[in-house]
Structure 1
Amino acid sequence: MSAKKDCSPATGLIHHPYRPPEGFASPAVPVCKASTVFFPSVAALRSQHWLDKQAYTYGLHGTPTTFTLEERLATLEGAKHVLLAPSGLSALTNVNMALLSSGDAVLLPDNVYNPSKEFARHELARWGISHKVYDAMQPESLLQALGPDVKLVWLEAPGSVTMEFPDLPALVRTVREAAPQAVIALDNTWGAGLAFDAFELGVDLTIHALTKYPSGGGDLLMGSIACRDQALYQRLAMTHSRLGLGVGANDAEAVLRALPTLPLRYASQDASARRIAEWAAGQRPLIRRVLHPALPGSPGHEHWASVCRAAAGLMTLEFDPAVEPARVDAFIEGLALFRIGWSWGGPVSLAVPYQASTRLRQLGSPYAGTLVRLSIGLEGTDDLIADLALGLQRLQAA
């Protein structure tokens, strides 16, 4: 069908009458890009709403591509509602801003993702919202921090960097009994919707840094918020809308393409990490301890075993305090396959050092030596072990 000849070329190109036939199907989800969304009538313009994903109103509120990703993530996490955010940290921020007001308090585990603490210390404090930290490995520590002003409690499993796995059912019970007014939120990035069933444990919502395992490529940023309760979803969604949070259609497409292989990649990186953790546990005296929830003896291993069926490809090596930080840095820089960089869950293995005694804890750190977090990628496990072994040999000889 050709355009009419009685209009200018510009008008003909913009208002061309051709529409492709319906019925096209392929494995890929179509990439739908929009800021403006057309309505068939003024009545539709006035009446259509996006919250239930039954209509389109504006690009920020959803397209077929983003709605499809949200629904697939809801299935993955065992939720009913999902919102997409530009990053995992923006998902955390959305939750805090939706659920907290001046005079409220939020509780954070002491081993929480550090940017979450920084947001509480700075932005939340400036808005009159206080925060307290608790020891996630001691439910009584959580109980002592709870009060009528606590409206939001964050859980993280395992702890960021130090990898302690808490007794999640006990923490949830503690909140429900002592502070029923509080919403319980879990950072489920490590679990990725595969390691354990977060909502079956009783949490109210989860956030997920899709940057990690769902993306799988280390090449995009995205986050999600998932919940089951309709009223909670509406509070989160309206704040999300007012903040103007959105994700790019091509990034949503990339996550959709990666999702079918997520269980395969997660299982592969899990298996590889367990082998490396077991090997590293025998590398004393340089390595004092290996922190990996699936490794017997790692803090909270028994809690991991009681609720989990898998583990992410993350571990942390605690070096002997006698090994100076500069020597640990040199060890990392000498590795051939492990690259130096933030994030995890991608195909390339990563190594990053931390000084746990000075950076990670407010309640006192049980870690004395330098910590090195390893994100295990998709390289051959034997190759990664050989790389680490050679690095330790050089460290021993230095």
Structure 2
Amino acid sequence: MTQQDISTTLIHHPYKPPEGFDASAPGVHKASTVFFDSVKALREREWKDKSGYTYGLHGTPTTFTLEERIATLEGGAHCVLAPSGLAAISLVDMSFLQQGDELLLPDNVYGPNRAFAEGELLAWGISHRFYDPMDPADLAGMISDKTRLVWLEVPGSVSLEYPDLPALTAVIRDANSRRAKGSRQVLGALDNTWGAGLAFNGFELGADIVMQALTKYPSGGADVLMGSVVTRDPGLHRQILLTHMRLGLGVGANDAELVLRGLASIKTRYAAQDATTRALALWMQQQAPVVKVFHPALEGSPGHAFWQRDAQGAACLFSVVFDESYGQSEVDAFCDRLSLFRLGWSWAGPVSLCAPYAMSRMRTRPWAHAGHLVRFAIGLESVDDLKADLSQALDAMGAPR
């Protein structure tokens, strides 16, 4: 045989490492092209049931491994990965909504979920309405023959009201029981990013689909964007999987590697950040400039009794409303004075964050509190150091006028 050029030899090198290597970290497999041994294999190999590999976008050993672990975390059977939490939300919407359908959203829904409904979905002929998540009867009165999907969020975005999730999912089941046989059913999709698969099991509380932003707790490093959609029903999973394929959604192998690494410590981090958050939320309740603290584990926070009944933990978020005598510029100055708390979006990373919110712009129903709201996301710093940082910024505000 004619001697090959070195470039050809390096590309088609015959050496293969021995089988049997094992380590705590799963291997990172990167591919767009996947090789087949024969035309028969190329034509027959299946990726939808994870029995084989056909193209990098449809899965590699790395992404299949992550999907299986996230399904286990959520108490589900099937998982697909998306490039972000918002991409996972959009995937659910596009998998199940058609022109003429209606989507119901809690009034305290995650802002970009609301924006997708008000933008793209509305332009595609899919209507939406907002229900009061703290009133199951309000949801019951809104479900119509056009309703196909109901988003559930526990707790609500930013203001952290904790709903009666079993009562909301019971409303959906009751509506389905009255539908004609063979008609399209209403699905309940839960954004479980706050619960992270640890605080409660969304399927056991009645959800059909459980979505999570893996950007948050599963990653834990504030350096990855990813989302997941988990189901127990194989029919729902297949519909999601086919839409996922047609949209060309994929995640990078290195990002999947980082989330797999983060999963090993998720329970420990969740508990540690929970403990620090509760301590700071309780302390903030005693501070003169603060008139309200939202945190599901605090007595008096909306839905506290439902959290106490249904959850085994709480995440790293709490929000405060300042006395209405403080204007927006004073609240903004408070945020700027903080040094350990950085200004930024997202949460569940190692660094504590804060951000002011204009709540009246985020709700269709009137916001009941006159003062300005700031949300805190607690990282992994010392509780005493964080308390000292908050204290110096509060002192500079002075007493309420």
TM-score by length of 1: 0.97
- Give the corresponding residue for 1:346: 349
- Give the corresponding residue for 2:251: 247
Once residues 263 and 307 of structure 2 are traced to their aligned partners in structure 1, the CA distance between those partners, rounded to angstroms, is 24
Match runs of 1:140-151 below 5 Å? 140-151=137-148
Which of 131, 135, 140 is the equivalent residue of 1:134? 131
Match runs of 1:160-309 below 5 Å? 160-180=157-177, 181-284=185-288, 286-309=289-312
- Quote how far apart the aligned CAs of 1:397 are: 6.4
- Give the corresponding residue for 2:326: 323
Secondary structure at 1:200's aligned position in 2?
coil
- Quote how far apart the aligned CAs of 1:8 are: 1.5
Further displaced range: 10-19 or 235-244: 10-19
- Give the corresponding residue for 1:366: 368
- Give the corresponding residue for 1:22: 19
Secondary structure at 2:230's aligned position in 1?
strand
- Give the corresponding residue for 2:98: 101
**Are the aligned partners of 1:150 and 1:179 in contact in 2 as well (CA < 8 Å)?**
no
- Quote how far apart the aligned CAs of 1:367 are: 2.4
- Give the corresponding residue for 1:383: 385
- Mark the runs of 5 or more structure 1 residues left unpaired by the alignment: none
Once residues 141 and 390 of structure 1 are traced to their aligned partners in structure 2, the CA distance between those partners, rounded to angstroms, is 43
Further displaced range: 145-154 or 173-182: 173-182
The residue identity in structure 2 corresponding to 1:307 is: D
**Are the aligned partners of 1:77 and 1:193 in contact in 2 as well (CA < 8 Å)?**
yes
- Quote how far apart the aligned CAs of 1:368 are: 1.8
**Are the aligned partners of 1:74 and 1:81 in contact in 2 as well (CA < 8 Å)?**
yes
Once residues 169 and 367 of structure 1 are traced to their aligned partners in structure 2, the CA distance between those partners, rounded to angstroms, is 28
- Quote how far apart the aligned CAs of 1:272 are: 0.3
Once residues 242 and 90 of structure 2 are traced to their aligned partners in structure 1, the CA distance between those partners, rounded to angstroms, is 14
Once residues 5 and 263 of structure 1 are traced to their aligned partners in structure 2, the CA distance between those partners, rounded to angstroms, is 59
- Quote how far apart the aligned CAs of 1:125 are: 0.6
Secondary structure at 1:184's aligned position in 2?
strand
Aligned length: 393
The residue identity in structure 2 corresponding to 1:298 is: S
Quick check: 1:58 aligned with 2:58? no
- Quote how far apart the aligned CAs of 1:143 are: 1.0
The superposition leaves residues 321-377 of structure 1 with CA deviations (integer Å, 9 ceiling, x where unpaired) of 1110110000000011000000000000000000112x1100221222111000000
Further displaced range: 117-126 or 173-182: 173-182
Once residues 367 and 240 of structure 1 are traced to their aligned partners in structure 2, the CA distance between those partners, rounded to angstroms, is 41
The superposition leaves residues 37-83 of structure 1 with CA deviations (integer Å, 9 ceiling, x where unpaired) of 01111111111111111100100100000000000111100010000
- Return closer, same or farther for 1:280/1:5 CA change in 2, 3 Å cut-off: farther
Once residues 123 and 199 of structure 2 are traced to their aligned partners in structure 1, the CA distance between those partners, rounded to angstroms, is 37
Once residues 368 and 141 of structure 2 are traced to their aligned partners in structure 1, the CA distance between those partners, rounded to angstroms, is 21
- Mark the runs of 5 or more structure 2 residues left unpaired by the alignment: 178-184
Further displaced range: 388-397 or 118-127: 388-397
* Cα RMSD for the two superposed structures: 1.1
- Give the corresponding residue for 2:78: 81
The superposition leaves residues 199-234 of structure 1 with CA deviations (integer Å, 9 ceiling, x where unpaired) of 101110111000011110111100000000000000
**Are the aligned partners of 1:273 and 1:315 in contact in 2 as well (CA < 8 Å)?**
yes
Once residues 387 and 126 of structure 2 are traced to their aligned partners in structure 1, the CA distance between those partners, rounded to angstroms, is 46
**Are the aligned partners of 2:175 and 2:186 in contact in 1 as well (CA < 8 Å)?**
no
Secondary structure at 1:73's aligned position in 2?
helix
The superposition leaves residues 134-175 of structure 1 with CA deviations (integer Å, 9 ceiling, x where unpaired) of 000011111111011000000000000000000000000011
- Return closer, same or farther for 1:161/1:42 CA change in 2, 3 Å cut-off: same
Deviating beyond 4 angstroms after TM superposition, the runs of 4 or more aligned structure 1 residues are: none
Quick check: 1:44 aligned with 2:41? yes
**Are the aligned partners of 1:147 and 1:179 in contact in 2 as well (CA < 8 Å)?**
no
- Quote how far apart the aligned CAs of 1:253 are: 0.2
Once residues 135 and 397 of structure 1 are traced to their aligned partners in structure 2, the CA distance between those partners, rounded to angstroms, is 35
**Are the aligned partners of 1:142 and 1:171 in contact in 2 as well (CA < 8 Å)?**
yes
Percent identity, aligned pairs only, is: 56
- Quote how far apart the aligned CAs of 1:179 are: 3.9
**Are the aligned partners of 1:108 and 1:155 in contact in 2 as well (CA < 8 Å)?**
yes
Once residues 326 and 206 of structure 1 are traced to their aligned partners in structure 2, the CA distance between those partners, rounded to angstroms, is 39
Secondary structure at 2:343's aligned position in 1?
coil
Quick check: 1:332 aligned with 2:335? yes
Once residues 364 and 132 of structure 1 are traced to their aligned partners in structure 2, the CA distance between those partners, rounded to angstroms, is 15
The residue identity in structure 2 corresponding to 1:128 is: G
Once residues 243 and 105 of structure 1 are traced to their aligned partners in structure 2, the CA distance between those partners, rounded to angstroms, is 22
Secondary structure at 1:208's aligned position in 2?
strand
